[in-house]
Amino acid sequence: MQAVLIIGAFAGMLASGMPIFLALGILSLALVYLEGMPLIAYPQIFVDHLTSETLVAIPFFVLAASFMQRGGIAKALVDCATVWVGGLRGGLALVCVAATTVFAAISGSSIATAMAMGTLLVPAMINRSYQRPFALGVVGASGTLGILIPPSLPMIVYAIIAEESVPRLFLAGVLPGLLQALLFGLWIAFFTWKKGYPKEDGISRDQFIKANLRALPALSLPVIILGGIYSGIVTVTESAGLAALTSIIVALGVYKGCRLSEIPEIVAGSLRTTASIIFIVMTAGAFAHWIAGSGVSDVLVGFVESYELSAWQFLLFINVVLLALGMFLEVFAVILIVMPIVLPLLGPLGINPIHFAVVIMVNMEVALLTPPIGMNLYVLSSITKSPIAEVIRGVLPFIVIMLLLLILVTYVPEISLFLPEYVYGK
C-alpha cells in the first residue's frame, strides 16, 4: 500500500508539471520525515551524494560540449564525414551517423549532439529533397549515441552509484555504440535506395584533403580525452578539464565559430545544464538513500530467490521496467532511482555490473526518443520548428532498430565486456 501511495504521489507531481528534481526532493523529504529521521539529516544526505571526485568531471564535459556545439567543431566533423561517405546514395543521412558518432566521442551528451547535428544537417537534408520525418529521425536517433559512446555523462553517474571503474564503463560502450551506428547505416542505405534518394556530387582530391586537414583539430579531441584516460596520464576528472580547455582553444583559435564576447553566455548555459544534473543527483540520491534504508532491496532479493528467477528472466523484466520509467523520467533520475534497488540483485544472479550499465544506457537511448519526456524529440522540434508528431514519426523505425540492439546487448554480454576485459582483464 505504501508503495502505491509513493508512486501515486510522484506521478501526480510530475503530471502537474513539477520539475523532476523538485518532485524527487519533496517525495524524499516526506519519506525521511515519515520514517522519523531528524530533518537536519536531510541536507547531509544531499552533501554525501556530491562528494565524489568523479562528479567534478560533469561540469567540464558539459562546458566542452557547449563549445563544440557553438564553436564550429560540429561543422568541421560534418564536412569531414561528407568527403568520406557523402557520395553514396542517401549520403547526407550517412554523414549524420558518421559525424554524430565522432561528436559523441567528444561531448558525452545526447542533447548537445542532437542540437549540434540537427542545426546543421536537418535543413541540408530537407533542401536535398529528403522527407522531413526521415531527416528528423536520423538526427534524433543518431544523437542518442552521446550517452553510449564514451565519454558519457550518464556512465559517470552510474560509476559513482555502482562504485565501478569509469574507464571500464567507457570501454564497454564502444562496441555497442559502433554496432548501433552500423545498424543505422544499413537501414539508411536500404531506405534511401528504396526511395531513390539522390547521390551527392563527387568530391575532388583537393576537397578531400582540405576537409580532412581542417577536421584534424576536431578529430584530435577524442584522442586527447580518451587517450589520456587509457594511457594513465590523466584521471577521468582531469581529462574532462582537459577536454573543456582544448575545446575552448579549438573553438576560439582554430574554427573561430564563437567570439570572446560569447564566452560568458556559453559558460552560463553550461552552468544551467550542470545545475539541473546536480539537482537531480542530489534529490534522486536522497530518494535512493531512503530506498536503501527501507529494505526494498532486501524484499526484491527475497522475491527473486523465492521465484527462482534466472538472469535472463530478470533482465527481461528490468528492461520492461526501464523502458516504462524512461518514458516519464529523465535519464539521470532513472539511473539514480533504479541502481540502489537492483544493484544487490546483480551479484546473486551472476550479472556483470559493467554489462548491466550498457543495458541501462541502451534503454535510456530509447527513452530519449519516446514521449512524453523524450528530450531529443523536443530538442529537434524546437530547433527545426517541426511538430512533435512529425519527429516521433521519423524516429519510429530507429526505435525498432534500437530495441533489436537492446536484445543483443542484453543477452550477448560479450559485446559489452570484450573491450574492458581485453584491456584490463576479468
Which of residues 44 and 333 earns the better pLDDT score?
Answer: 333
Angle at 137 between CA 221 and CA 373, to 5 degrees: 90
What mean pLDDT is predicted for residues 30-52?
A: 72
**What CA–CA distance (Å, rounded) separates 53 from 48?**
12
* Residues 6+ away with beta carbon under 8 Å from 341: 291, 296, 297, 300
Report the run of H or E that residue 6 belongs to, with start and end.
helix 2-15
Owner of C-alpha cell 590523466: 234
Query: What's the rounded Cα separation, in Å, for the pair 219 and 214?
Result: 9
Note the pLDDT of residue 292: 66
Considering the chain, what is the average pLDDT of its residues? 86
**In one letter, which amino acid is 79?**
D
Question: Cα–Cα distances in Å, from 81 out to 78, 102, 126?
Answer: 5, 9, 18
32-46, 97-111, 159-173, 177-191: which range is least confident on average?
A: 32-46
* Residue whose entry in the numeric block shows the C-alpha cell 550477448: 412
Whose cell is 531527416? That residue is 135
Least Cα distance to 114 among 393, 383, 335, 401 occurs for 383
Mean predicted confidence (pLDDT) in 145-170: 92
The pLDDT of residue 391 is 93
Q: Give per-residue pLDDT as tens, 189-229.
A: 999 999 888 777 777 889 899 999 999 999 888 888 888 88
pLDDT tens-place string over residues 60-103: 998 988 888 888 888 899 999 988 988 888 888 999 999 999 98
350-376: average pLDDT:
92
Q: Give CA 416 to chain center in angstroms.
A: 16
The sign of the CA dihedral 417, 418, 419, 421 is positive
Tell me which residue of 150, 134, 213 sits closest to 386, measured CA to CA. Answer: 134
Max Cα–Cα distance, the chain, nearest Å? 73
Q: Minimum mean pLDDT among 173-187, 346-360, 376-390, 403-417: which range?
A: 376-390
Query: Roughly how many angstroms between the first and final C-alpha of the chain, as a whole number?
Result: 43
Residue 202 Cα distances to 128, 194, 199, angstroms: 15, 22, 9
Helix axes of 263-294 and 331-349: crossing angle, nearest 10 degrees: 40
Q: CA dist 90 to 8, 101, 192, Å?
A: 47, 17, 5
- Model confidence at 49, pLDDT cuts 50, 70, 90, reads low
Q: 385: pLDDT confidence band, cut at 50, 70 and 90?
A: confident
Confidence of residue 2 (pLDDT cuts 50, 70, 90): low
Residue pair 331/147 in contact (Cβ under 8 Å)? The answer is yes
Of 49-58, 102-111, 255-264, 343-352, the poorest mean pLDDT is in 49-58
Q: Are 260 and 252 in contact (CB under 8 A)?
A: yes
pLDDT, tens digit, 9 for 90 and up, residues 220-265: 888 888 888 888 889 898 999 998 999 999 999 999 888 888 989 9
Which residue in the block uniquely carries the three cell numbers 548491466? 356
Q: Following DSSP, what letter does each residue of 394-415 receive, concatenated? A: HHHHHHHHHHHHHHHHHH-THH
Q: Does residue 280 or residue 184 have the better pLDDT? A: 184
**pLDDT by residue (tens digit) across 296-345?**
666 766 776 677 778 999 999 999 989 988 887 888 888 988 888 888 88
pLDDT-derived band of residue 134, with 50, 70 and 90 as boundaries? very high
Per residue, what are the HEC states of 330-378?
CHHHHHHHHHHHHHHHHHHHCCCHHHHHHHHHHHHHHHCCCCCCCHHHH
Residue 330's region, left for phi above 0, alpha for psi from -120 to 50, else beta, is beta
Helix, strand, coil shares of the chain, percent, nearest 5, are 80, 0, 20
What is the number of other CB atoms lying within 10 angstroms of the CB of residue 214?
Answer: 16
More confident residue, 189 or 43: 189
Q: Which residue matches cell numbers 535512493?
A: 288
Residue 296: per-residue pLDDT: 63
Which segment of 85-89, 137-141, 299-303, 393-397 scores lowest on mean pLDDT?
299-303
Predicted confidence band at 405 (pLDDT cuts at 50, 70, 90)?
Answer: very high
- Per-residue pLDDT, 378: 85
Tell me, what's the pLDDT at 24? 80
**What letter does residue 2 receive in the DSSP assignment?**
H
| pLDDT over 70 percentage in the chain | 94
